[in-house]
Amino acid sequence: MAGARSVEPLRFDGKVALVTGAGGGLGKAYALLFAERGASVIVNDLGGDIKGEGKCSSAADRVVEEIRAKGGNAVASYDSVEEGEKVIQTALDAFGKIDIVVNNAGILRDRSFARTSDLDWDLIQRVHLRGSFKVTRAAWNHMKNQKYGRIIMTASTSGIYGNFGQANYSAAKLGLLGLANTLAIEGEKYNIQCNTIAPTAGSRLTQTVLPQELLDALKPEFVAPLVVWLCHESCQENGSLFEVGAGWIGKLRWERTLGAIVRQNQQMTPEAVRDNWGQICDFQNAIKPKSSRDSLMTLYEVLNKLGTKQGISPNPTSGPLQINTSRINLAEAIGKNVPSSEYTYTNLQPILYALGVGMTTKDPDHLKFLFERNEDFSCLPTFGVIPAQGSMIDGLSSVPGLNIDFTKVLHGEQYLELYKPLPTSGTLKSEGTIADILDKGSGAVILMDVRTYHEGDLVCYNQFSIFVVGTGGFGGKRMSDKVKVTVQPPSRPPDAMMSDVISINQAALYRLNGDWNPLHIDPSFAAFGGFKRPILHGLCSMGFAARHVLSQYANNDVTKFKAIKVRFAKPVIPGQTLETEMWKEGNRIHLRAKVKENNEVVLVGAYVDLEDAAYQSRDNVTGMRRELQSDLVFAEISRRIKDVGKEMVKKVNAVLQWDVTKDGKMAAQWTIDLKSGSGELYKGAAHCPADTIITLSDEDFMQVVSGKLNPQKAFFSGKLNIKGNILHSQKLEMIFKEYAKL
């Protein structure tokens, strides 16, 4: 059903419209209609003959008189459009501004191509193409300053399709379309819109080529309403091309075949072009590119398909394009293995990666990641994504049933699990599989699992979640048990925070690890993706965050790292400050990464799982909150529960929740479950109703533990608050004395 339409007629009161070549034919019809609708009109016409020779003021004057006789407002302009400044000056002198320019003036000098003289060529280009340029350029800044403008270019079907004897005219007419396409882009932000029409109407230009009957039927009045509508302030059309005549209007656009890659590695031969000609020219499933960005993206996709070395990884954050050629065949794709890939590296690559995620010689702790002769020389755990990323880039394009448009691919999430520390050099073999495909409505999520082996041993597992925009709705499931899910952090304030200023060259450095997407280095490509500047790789932000966790909770010991999961929410721009907020829940460190300058969250639902997370954290890093002293005691209690949990359960038989405060605010929650099995200790509120909830400050806690403060006394003096079964407070002394010795 069509949307509600205004019944108000389209009016142009207060608007100033220039129509060039308005002394007759189409231009006259436009001028009359604009005037009838309230515009002040500049009727421009040189008054020459059809071939562009001679001049006369009467053509313009007659139209002005007709408008005035009907009560309209108009002035004449007799200058050639080649003198655009003068034409626009007439508008400014008469009405003080210019809102609408209809480039309509035209001549014909038809000749077969062989007989086309220089003059035939030049005059046509000068009147049509150069004249439209001159008039429009003279009006442009006025429109820009007033943030309003509507421009029409007049092309022709002769330019669009070609026409015998009109080589000069066809060239000029399609030149006008190119001009309009760019003006539409440049003018958009100033509310200047530019559209092109290819009209057909009876006029002195067509009277020699069309039979009289047709000339009479194809009235200019059947074209003018389109021009008037395109110039109305309520019309949002911009950069479009219309064929119009006899009261019919149609819109045109480009269509392109899916084409064929005919190159093999560095070789491309004429024979390969010949052999693929059918596919190159096959319009089945053809797409409709809308911008030069669409065109460029296709080339990047081609480079991608041609291989990792020269290839480019899928664009992680660029906005969706309008074209959609993606097709997914679930039965064919799910469970498919992608060709295995090998990644051979020396010490250089882990060092380059460490530099790529912000390791610096300023920090002595970082040396073991940057200096191959350091006795603890190690490879950062998140380097594990590097050997696997090749499988993803090449893999996706090789899977049958996954006919996806790489310009619509976003890297949504990443999971990495390590089974042993990564070797600092060697050859790693990666095997990828399409684990599952989800239908998220707005797009499809492809889960690609990649397992990476070193000398036959599994060293790490990656799950790439790839979102393909616009390919959803194929009736697939929304969730899968294969998904490594994101987990939200606790609602309390973060336990720790680390930050780094991302250096201006960070993305330039990180890409050397094999992600060659120009989005991260080339300003003009970034602009195509809608970014002011090249953006940091999502996996690089992940590397920073993982490094923060490793430093904060694992003393940079890579053997402690088990797994990481992140969802990429927004990009980071080099130069911004990345803040990693961390929450410790047992061996899981929840994290959230933000850009300090604008508070935008860039990594969400993220966590790192550690082996035996250290309860004592470093406190010498700027911006980090000191951990609580009580954390040490709980770490000790945790160890004792492992040793003598059964005995403790027998003696205490209660679930005790601890709310530890610092500076009057809740700083940590711990639960000691000594009720069932062999007992357990975990961070956070009790999972089942606690028998007793004890609240006290971190300092008082330490006093109690060290025996300097008796728990009962602390209770009566108000330092220790107990909710629930108060009798359990008597057991506290025992827990501390017997099990929490420091």
Under rule CB under 6 A, residue 163 binds ligand NAI:
no
Q: Helix or strand or coil: residue 583?
A: strand
Closer of 247 and 307 to ligand NAI (Cβ): 247
Q: Which stretch binds ligand NAI (CB under 6 A): 198-206, 375-383, 470-478, 677-685?
A: 198-206
Closest among 226, 161, 228 to 17, alpha carbons compared:
228
Q: Helix or strand or coil: residue 215?
A: helix
As measured in angstroms, the least distance from the Cβ of 179 to ligand NAI is: 14
Q: Are strands 680-683 and 665-674 parallel, antiparallel or unpaired?
A: antiparallel
Under rule CB under 6 A, residue 206 binds ligand NAI:
yes
Total residues in contact with ligand NAI, by rule CB under 6 A: 33
Structure tokens at 197: 């029409």
As measured in angstroms, the least distance from the Cβ of 126 to ligand NAI is: 8
Burial of 3 (0-12, 13-18, 19+ CB in 10 A): exposed
Closest among 19, 27, 36 to 71, alpha carbons compared:
36
Closer of 28 and 37 to ligand NAI (Cβ): 28
Under rule CB under 6 A, residue 200 binds ligand NAI:
yes
Closer of 24 and 289 to ligand NAI (Cβ): 24
As measured in angstroms, the least distance from the Cβ of 250 to ligand NAI is: 15
As measured in angstroms, the least distance from the Cβ of 144 to ligand NAI is: 24
Cα–Cα distance between 139 and 422 in angstroms, integer?
65
As measured in angstroms, the least distance from the Cβ of 164 to ligand NAI is: 15
As measured in angstroms, the least distance from the Cβ of 210 to ligand NAI is: 8
Q: Which of residues 559-618 bind ligand NAI (CB under 6 A)?
A: none
12, 15, 18, 23: which one contacts ligand NAI (CB under 6 A)? 23
67, 179, 201, 709: which one contacts ligand NAI (CB under 6 A)? 201
Q: Which of residues 3-22 bind ligand NAI (CB under 6 A)?
A: 20-21
Cβ neighbours of 640 (radius 10 Å): 19
Closer of 197 and 595 to ligand NAI (Cβ): 197
DSSP string, 69-135: HTT-EEEEE-S-GGGHHHHHHHHHHHHS---EEE--------B-GGG--HHHHHHHIIIIIIHHHHH
Cβ neighbours of 255 (radius 10 Å): 10
Closest among 187, 95, 196, 103 to 141, alpha carbons compared:
187
Closer of 29 and 608 to ligand NAI (Cβ): 29
Closer of 21 and 421 to ligand NAI (Cβ): 21
Q: What is the largest CA-CA distance in the chain?
A: 115
Report whether 223 contacts 26 (CB < 8 A).
Answer: yes
Burial of 237 (0-12, 13-18, 19+ CB in 10 A): middle
Report whether 708 contacts 730 (CB < 8 A).
Answer: no
Using CA atoms in the order 30, 34, 37, 40, what is the torsion angle rounded to 10 degrees?
-160
As measured in angstroms, the least distance from the Cβ of 167 to ligand NAI is: 15
204, 639, 723, 741: which one contacts ligand NAI (CB under 6 A)? 204
Q: Helix or strand or coil: residue 354?
A: helix
Report whether 692 contacts 656 (CB < 8 A).
Answer: yes
Under rule CB under 6 A, residue 196 binds ligand NAI:
no
* DSSP code at position 597: T
- Distance between the two ends of the chain, CA-based, in angstroms? 76
As measured in angstroms, the least distance from the Cβ of 143 to ligand NAI is: 20
Under rule CB under 6 A, residue 80 binds ligand NAI:
yes
Contact track, ligand NAI, 131-150, x by CB under 6 A: x-------------------
Closer of 202 and 494 to ligand NAI (Cβ): 202
Closer of 41 and 81 to ligand NAI (Cβ): 81
Report whether 76 contacts 43 (CB < 8 A).
Answer: yes
Cβ neighbours of 144 (radius 10 Å): 16
What are the backbone angles phi and psi of residue 609, rounded to the nearest 5°? -100, 130
Q: Which stretch binds ligand NAI (CB under 6 A): 139-147, 204-212, 416-424, 522-530?
A: 204-212
Under rule CB under 6 A, residue 328 binds ligand NAI:
no
Closest among 349, 370, 375, 341 to 358, alpha carbons compared:
370
Cα–Cα distance between 505 and 508 in angstroms, integer?
5
Considering only CA atoms, give the Rg of the chain: 36
| Helices and strands of the chain, counted as H and E runs | 23, 25
Closer of 80 and 168 to ligand NAI (Cβ): 80
Closer of 87 and 435 to ligand NAI (Cβ): 87
Using CA atoms in the order 577, 578, 584, 590, what is the torsion angle rounded to 10 degrees?
150
127, 334, 388, 696: which one contacts ligand NAI (CB under 6 A)? 127
40, 156, 304, 389: which one contacts ligand NAI (CB under 6 A)? 156
As measured in angstroms, the least distance from the Cβ of 94 to ligand NAI is: 17
Q: Note if 169 is an active site residue.
A: yes
Which residues in 357-379 are b (16+ Cβ under 10 Å) and which e?
bbbeeeeeebebbbeeeeeebbb
H helices within 482-575, ranges in order?
506-510, 523-528, 538-554
Among the listed residues 78, 169, 345, 739, the single catalytic one is 169
* DSSP code at position 335: T
Q: Which of residues 24-63 bind ligand NAI (CB under 6 A)?
A: 24-27, 44-48, 50, 52, 59
Under rule CB under 6 A, residue 154 binds ligand NAI:
yes
Cα–Cα distance between 589 and 594 in angstroms, integer?
16
Closest among 689, 705, 630 to 657, alpha carbons compared:
689
Under rule CB under 6 A, residue 64 binds ligand NAI:
no
Cα–Cα distance between 552 and 617 in angstroms, integer?
6
Structure tokens at 701: 């806690």
Q: Which stretch binds ligand NAI (CB under 6 A): 76-84, 258-266, 466-474, 639-647?
A: 76-84
As measured in angstroms, the least distance from the Cβ of 113 to ligand NAI is: 18
As measured in angstroms, the least distance from the Cβ of 251 to ligand NAI is: 17
Structure tokens at 563: 């797994």
As measured in angstroms, the least distance from the Cβ of 150 to ligand NAI is: 17
Under rule CB under 6 A, residue 239 binds ligand NAI:
no
* DSSP code at position 423: P
Closer of 147 and 251 to ligand NAI (Cβ): 251
Under rule CB under 6 A, residue 205 binds ligand NAI:
yes
Closer of 77 and 661 to ligand NAI (Cβ): 77
Closer of 209 and 479 to ligand NAI (Cβ): 209
Report whether 555 contacts 525 (CB < 8 A).
Answer: no
Under rule CB under 6 A, residue 203 binds ligand NAI:
yes
Please, which residues bridge with residue 595 across strands?
578, 600
As measured in angstroms, the least distance from the Cβ of 194 to ligand NAI is: 16
Opening angle at CA 293, ends 289 and 294, nearest 5: 30
Q: Which of residues 86-115 bind ligand NAI (CB under 6 A)?
A: 104-107
Catalytic residues: 169
Binding site for ligand NAI (CB under 6 A): 20-21, 23-27, 44-48, 50, 52, 59, 80-82, 104-107, 127, 131, 154, 156, 199-201, 203-206
